[in-house]
C-alpha cells in the first residue's frame, strides 16, 4: 500500500481489494485510527478465485480494528510448488538409478567371489580325493601340498648361521 494513503489519518472508509497488490502492509497504516470500514483483502464483486490482494505475514502490529478482517498470505505460488516437486522428482529418479547400479555392482562382486570360492573348494576336494588315503595332506591357499611346507634351511640361511657363530 502506498505510504501516501496511510497519511490520510481521518479517512473513514478504505477499500483496496481488486487491485492485485502484493508485498507487506506499510507500518504507517496504524495511524489510520478513524477507519469505520476497511477492505484490504477480499474478492471483487462477481470475481471468484480468492483474495485479490496478497500481503506478506506478519501484518503490522496495531492494525486498525476495522481492518481486522485483512488476512496475510505466505502461501507458495503454484510455480514454486511445481519447481519443488520437479526437483524432488529428479532427485528421486537419480537416487533410484544410483541404487540400481550399486545393487548390480554388489551382485557382480558377490557372484565373482562365490565362483572363486567354489573353484577353490572343488580344487581342494579333488586334491584330497586323489592323494593317498590316510596320508596327511597340507592345504595352503587352496592348494594341497603333498609333503607339507619345506621348512629345511636353505643355503643362505646356513651360511648366515655359520658366520654368526
Dump the DSSP string for 16-80. -TTS--EE---GGGGG-TT-SEEESS-PPTT--SS-S-EEPSSPPTT--GGGTT--B--PPPHHH
Q: What is the residue extent of each domain of the chain?
A: 1-75, 103-164
How crowded is the C-beta side of 52, counted as CA atoms within 13 Å?
Answer: 16
Q: Return the bridge partners of 54, or none.
A: 22
Instruction: Write out the DSSP string of 7-24.
Output: T-TT--EEE-TTS--EE-
pLDDT tens, the chain, 165 aa long: 677 777 777 878 887 766 777 777 777 777 777 888 887 776 655 555 555 677 777 777 877 777 777 777 766 677 888 899 999 999 999 999 999 999 999 999 999 999 988 888 887 777 777 765 666 666 666 666 655 556 666 777 777 777 765
pTM across the whole model: 0.40
C-alpha cell at 90: 529428479
User: Which H or E run contains 145?
Assistant: strand 143-145
Amino acid at each position: 500500500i502506498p505510504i501516501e494513503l496511510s497519511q490520510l489519518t481521518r479517512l473513514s472508509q478504505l477499500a483496496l481489494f481488486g487491485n492485485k497488490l502484493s508485498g507487506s502492509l506499510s507500518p504507517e497504516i496504524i495511524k489510520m485510527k478513524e477507519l469505520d470500514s476497511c477492505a484490504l483483502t477480499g474478492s471483487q464483486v462477481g470475481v471468484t478465485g480468492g483474495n485479490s490482494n496478497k500481503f506478506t505475514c506478519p501484518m503490522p502490529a496495531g492494525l486498525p480494528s476495522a481492518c481486522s478482517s485483512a488476512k496475510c498470505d505466505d502461501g507458495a505460488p503454484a510455480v514454486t510448488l511445481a519447481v519443488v516437486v520437479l526437483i524432488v522428482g529428479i532427485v528421486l529418479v537419480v537416487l533410484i538409478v544410483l541404487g540400481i547400479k550399486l545393487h548390480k555392482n554388489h551382485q557382480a562382486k558377490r557372484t565373482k567371489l562365490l565362483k572363486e570360492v567354489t573353484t577353490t573348494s572343488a580344487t581342494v576336494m579333488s586334491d584330497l580325493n586323489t592323494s593317498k588315503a590316510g596320508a596327511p595332506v597340507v592345504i595352503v591357499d587352496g592348494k594341497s601340498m603333498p609333503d607339507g611346507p619345506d621348512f629345511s634351511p636353505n643355503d643362505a640361511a646356513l651360511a648366515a648361521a655359520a658366520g654368526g657363530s
